[in-house]
Structure 1
Amino acid sequence: MEIENKSEKPRKKTGRPLSFDREVALQRAMLVFWRYGYEAASLQELTSAMGITPPSLYAAFGDKEKLFLEAVERYSTENCDALLCLFNQAPRARDAIERLLQSAAVDFTCPSHPPGCLMNTAATNCSASAEHVQHAMIERRDHVENMIRTRVETGVNNGELPPDTDVSGLANFYWTVIQGMSTQARDHADRDKLLAIAAMAMRAWPAPK
């Protein structure tokens, strides 16, 4: 008689494999949030764009909030990586900021995605129930401003800027310009207008002493 080996652990049941490309679905969801914002993006609009059913969305991403945060994390990571690369390639702090503004003007008006910046538009006006989402977006925006501040500070340390430069104030100024450019793009400003704003903003760059 065969004796049952009770020491063997039961095998875990594996979930059903996804019947869709998760990365493609996430990219499409990101575009919906980008266009409509977190709260205005309906479940129907999301699932329709993603090409999946609501149960599939919940199974793959958890819920709408988790889907949004994952989409924002993807967007934020890609943009911060690109920003870091841009800063590393720029020979001077002034070049870095100027290229940042010019790059923003091009990206905010790119026809392949909604206008403006996802981090500046997707969760600016949310109800109290979405406070967690709003805080997450603020943290990501602060991270970008900190990257700008660090690059300006490097310029001061390298003697490219006066030693008494208000590093935080200068970083905040250029980050505010970028946020304004995003709003302008949402209001259908074209690339030339944004590039002109970028050029005007660079006139505020402190002259070396």
Structure 2
Amino acid sequence: MGKKRQFNEEDVLGQLSSHFWKHGFSATKVDQLSEVTGLTKTSLYNAFGNKEALFLSAINFYVEKSLEVMSGYLDVNNKLSTNLEKLLTDTFITADKDSLSCGCFLTNSIVELNANELELHSEVALLCDKVRKVKLNFFSHYVENNKVVEGYSAEGLTNYFMTFFQGLRVQSRNHETSENLMSPITIFLKFIKSIEK
């Protein structure tokens, strides 16, 4: 029987996730992770593995928590525009500006790891695909139930939304004002409303 951990794993994963999110994989040292979690390097290694394993645990935690939050916005009993308006305004207009300035942990990691951490990049790409499938299932409901006009596929709407959403993430890193972020959101929502039935 394994020894019981003397720490709250969810709290530690949250701390690891936050640090990797803000600083990236390459710039992060295990000494820093030890400092932010209050655990010794030995404890971290014993609990999670090496730096790569720590990173993967952190980003998996981030994705799971993100999908939990996102599920609250994907109520297919609502109109498509209603769901997307709430998701976009809560994410970019009323959200904490400090977290917005970090961008998206997944996107940041895809860009960083593509250069010289190909194994980690492949793992993160799988997580991106997992998130995409959740969004694809969401848009598929509206297409398959004839709730959008003909000519728009679930694949196309998913790709369009993800491109738009990530663009807002990048803009947020530039500390754009709420007004500057709301302007493209308003235009996006006008388009979504124009294709709803």
Alignment of 1:12-161 (within 5 A): 15=3, 17-88=4-75, 91-106=78-93, 109-111=96-98, 115-126=102-113, 130-161=117-148
TM-score w.r.t. the length of structure 2 is: 0.84
Give aligned-pair identity as a percent: 23
Secondary structure of 2:195's aligned partner: coil
Aligned pair in 2 of structure 1 residues 87, 208: CA closer, same or farther (>3 Å)?
closer
TM-score w.r.t. the length of structure 1 is: 0.80
Is 1:207 paired with 2:195? yes
CA displacement at 1:18 relative to structure 2: 3.9
Do 1:38 and 1:68's aligned partners in 2 also have CA atoms closer than 8 Å?
Answer: yes
CA displacement at 1:84 relative to structure 2: 2.0
Is 1:191 paired with 2:178? yes
Q: How far does the alpha carbon of each residue in 1:61-107 deviate from its partner, in whole angstroms, 9 at most, with x for none?
A: 11111111111111111211222221126511222222222232147
Distance 2:42 2:83 in 1: 45
Structure 2: unaligned runs, 5 residues or longer: none
Name the stretch that deviates more: 63-72 or 111-120: 111-120
Distance 1:151 1:127 in 2: 29
CA displacement at 1:42 relative to structure 2: 1.7
Distance 2:100 2:33 in 1: 15
For the pair shown, which has the larger CA radius of gyration, 1 or 2?
Answer: 1
What RMSD, in angstroms, separates the aligned Cα atoms of the two structures? 2.6
Q: Which amino acid aligns with 2:91?
A: A
Aligned pair in 2 of structure 1 residues 108, 178: CA closer, same or farther (>3 Å)?
farther
Distance 1:77 1:135 in 2: 18
Distance 1:135 1:198 in 2: 31
Aligned to 1:3: none
Q: Which amino acid aligns with 1:70?
A: S
